């Protein structure tokens, strides 16, 4: 199916291909970026949805509390923007990008275990309007995470 979709875009003028391919990849979930601290980012336009990785929630165990940033808060890349507490440990969550928090996942207040059951989708933590989109270039894509020597020796993806 991917092959036929790509074949269709090859008939489109070159300028349109540059737009069509990223849109196709984003719909297939390939546009997710990851930080070295186990946060993930999915970007739609100028807004990034942020959460912790499935690996991070596995290491934490059963999540019992999530501290979310306030809507309107300005977060700076690598600064603490929240926390996740489990029965085993507590962990700060670091902003993988800079910007203004435009939304938070209020469902996590009532059901923090959503992070365990769906860390990289329904368990998202907040949405950030990007102030420095070029920071995304410093994050890893899915292909870079697993084979990374840093990842294997330090964070065991």
Query: Quick one: which of 68, 3, 80, 71 has its CA closest to 35?
Result: 80
CA atoms within 13 A on the CB side of 141: 8
- Spatial strand order in the sheet of 140-141: 74-75, 99-104, 126-130, 47-52, 39-44, 33-34, 140-141
* Per-residue model confidence as pLDDT tens digits over 9-49: 334 444 433 333 333 334 444 479 999 999 999 999 999 99
Residues of the chain with pLDDT under 50: 1-30, 147-157
For residue 146, the model assigns a pLDDT of 60
pLDDT of residue 13: 40
Domains by residue range for the chain, with CATH:
36-155 (2.40.50.100)
pLDDT for residue 71: 99
């Amino acid at each position: 199916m991917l092959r036929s979709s790509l074949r269709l875009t090859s008939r489109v003028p070159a300028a349109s291909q540059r737009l069509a391919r990223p849109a196709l990849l984003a719909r297939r979930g390939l546009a997710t970026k990851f930080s070295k601290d186990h946060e993930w980012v999915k970007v739609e336009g100028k807004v990034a949805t942020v959460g912790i990785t499935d690996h991070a929630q596995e290491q934490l165990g059963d999540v019992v509390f999530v501290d979310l940033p306030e809507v309107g808060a300005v977060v700076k890349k690598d600064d603490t923007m929240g926390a996740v507490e489990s029965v085993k440990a507590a962990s700060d969550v670091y902003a993988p990008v800079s910007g203004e928090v435009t939304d938070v996942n209020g469902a996590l207040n009532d059901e923090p275990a959503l992070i365990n059951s769906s860390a990289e989708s329904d368990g998202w933590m907040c949405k950030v309007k990007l102030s420095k989109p070029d920071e995304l270039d410093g994050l890893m894509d899915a292909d870079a995470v697993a084979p990374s020597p840093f990842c294997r020796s330090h964070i065991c993806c």
